[in-house]
Amino acid sequence: MPNLLFRCLSHSATACFFVLLTACADAPAQSLATAPNVPAAIQPPPQTTTAPVETLSFDEWRTLLRSDAIAAGIDPALFDRAFAGVVPNPKVLAADSSQPEFTRPVWEYLDGAVSSTRIARGRTLITQERANLTRIEQRYGVNAETLVAIWGLESNFGSNIGNHNVVRSLATLAYEGRRQAFWRSQLLAVLQILQHGDIAPESLVGSWAGAMGQTQFMPTTYNEHAVDFDGDGKRDLWNSSTDALASAAHYLQSSGWQQGQPWGFEVRLPNGFDYALADPDNRLPLSQWEALGIRPVNSSTNAAAEASATLLLPAGHKGPAFLVLSNFRSILRYNNSTSYALAIGLLSDALRGGSGIQASWPRGDRQLGRSERIELQELLTVNGFDPGPADGIIGANTRKAIRSLQLQLNQPADGYPTEDLLKQLRGR
């Protein structure tokens, strides 16, 4: 699911008015440690929001929203049609506030994301959609395998686009959820989509958080990047796989996708390698990584020596290693989770006949639960390190703090949180 970007570069003067109404509530990129089974795009980070207006009933709140929407150019009859029978959905509020204690390890996530069934189905669809995919690549420069991989992970190739009433879901979140200004911007964007005539209100379904269509676009992302590629006059991401795939390609192109460049590749590290170099901020030309003794597992990487790459250790020094390039970062713009981006890359490789990961995952290692990750961050702070807020998210600051601790302990400084590391901190 694309990250929630609500830019002021809209398609019309009406859209600019929406920006003024909603204070252009952008959602910055999240930590790369976002749980792989919970799309980062629907979890914008904490931000300053307006306090809940507890004195307003939902009907009163809707009346105020109606006035704002009409002032912004939304047809009154369309607004009333879209909100007919809409009341807050408690299940949406529960989903918004839920924070699971445990998430799947990256290897378990990849087992499902890059399954043999999904690979076989994706290859079949590439053959069936070859003409459209070729046209899309010619227009946007994004290869068929990457687009079909996104299609497969976002909606199981269009078979699971969600069944929530999007207007109801977003109205619930905008009325009484967290980050109300943010969700209000999405709700107003949905009304703009309806005003455009891309879909009827009765057919507007999606995820609990308002992600829509076969490529799960949020409304503000839809308004900026959805395209009518099949030429029927509508940007239909629900029923037109052509529009959905082309819209995903348009999004990636806008995110800096480099045609002909790989997303990355698996590598082998030399003995005695300095794992502290596996820092997301440490980007080096491939030629410099080669000079450090890093070698690709497969000889054909199809990447220029001057291409900038980052070393990725998704399971620490015990697991596989990857050099990831700018196209990996473009995928992160779609969903800011390294596990997701890695799944897209590996699935796209598999669709073109790749052999998969050669190194082994540390499947015997236990993942820290959320409360343990919070404890780890608190203990890092107590011991003089700076992991940032104790929120259970292992982001860049926490990983830097872990690396500093690991260097003190003469351990591989891979920045990876483990149960053993937490036990050592408890004993300090």
Which tens digits make up the pLDDT trace of 285-307? 999 999 999 999 987 778 888 99
Q: Count Cβ atoms below 10 Å from residue 366 Cβ, excluding itself.
A: 12
How confident is the model over 105-153, as pLDDT tens digits?
999 999 999 999 999 999 999 999 999 999 999 999 999 999 999 999 9
**Domain end point (choices 252, 286, 302):** 252
**Domain end point (choices 214, 230, 252):** 252
How confident is the model over 167-215, as pLDDT tens digits?
999 999 999 988 999 999 999 999 999 999 999 999 999 999 999 999 9
From CA 311, how far away is CA 285, in angstroms rounded?
11
From CA 81, how far away is CA 202, in angstroms rounded?
9
115 in a structural domain: no
User: Which residues are CB-neighbours of 308 under 8 A, at least 6 positions away?
Assistant: 283, 284, 285, 325, 326
Average pLDDT of the segment spanning 227-246 = 97
18 in a structural domain: yes
pLDDT band, residue 54 (cuts 50/70/90): low
Q: Count Cβ atoms below 10 Å from residue 120 Cβ, excluding itself.
A: 12
Tokens for 290?
């080669």
- AA identity, residue 256: G
361 in a structural domain: no
Whether residues 246 and 377 share a domain: the answer is no
186 in a structural domain: yes
What is the separation, in whole angstroms, between the first and last Cα of the chain?
Answer: 42
267 in a structural domain: no
Question: The domain spanning residue 29 has which CATH number?
Answer: 1.10.8.350
Q: Which domain holds residue 240?
A: 13-101+160-252
From CA 266, how far away is CA 130, in angstroms rounded?
28
92 in a structural domain: yes
Q: Helix 180-196 crosses helix 58-71 at what angle (to 10 degrees)?
A: 50
Q: How many domains does the chain have?
A: 2
Whether residues 54 and 195 share a domain: the answer is yes
Say if CB 206 and CB 27 are below 8 A apart.
no
- Does the structure show a pLDDT above 50 at 53? no
Tokens for 187?
């709700």
pLDDT at 23: 33
- Does the structure show a pLDDT above 50 at 46? no
From CA 383, how far away is CA 402, in angstroms rounded?
11
Residues in the chain: 428
Whether residues 245 and 374 share a domain: the answer is no
Residue 100: is it exposed, middle or buried by C-beta count within 10 angstroms (0-12/13-18/19+)? exposed
Tokens for 200?
């009827």
Share of the chain above pLDDT 70, in %: 88
From CA 40, how far away is CA 1, in angstroms rounded?
8
Distances 12 to 8, 9, 70 between C-alpha atoms, Å: 10, 9, 16
- Closest C-alpha to 266, from 306, 333, 315: 315
From CA 229, how far away is CA 60, in angstroms rounded?
40
- The larger pLDDT score, comparing residue 235 to residue 33, is at 235
Whether residues 389 and 246 share a domain: the answer is no
Tokens for 150?
């996104």
DSSP 277: G
- Does the structure show a pLDDT above 80 at 22? no
113 in a structural domain: no
From CA 234, how far away is CA 321, in angstroms rounded?
43
Q: Helix 58-71 crosses helix 166-176 at what angle (to 10 degrees)?
A: 110
- Does the structure show a pLDDT above 70 at 49? no
User: Which residues are CB-neighbours of 223 under 8 A, at least 6 positions away?
Assistant: 10, 11, 15, 189, 192, 193
Q: If DSSP codes are grouped into helix, strand and coil, which group holds residue 314?
A: strand
pLDDT at 48: 45
Share of the chain above pLDDT 90, in %: 81
Whether residues 186 and 58 share a domain: the answer is yes
pLDDT band, residue 2 (cuts 50/70/90): confident
pLDDT band, residue 386 (cuts 50/70/90): very high
**Domain end point (choices 223, 252, 281):** 252
From CA 414, how far away is CA 316, in angstroms rounded?
6
42 in a structural domain: yes
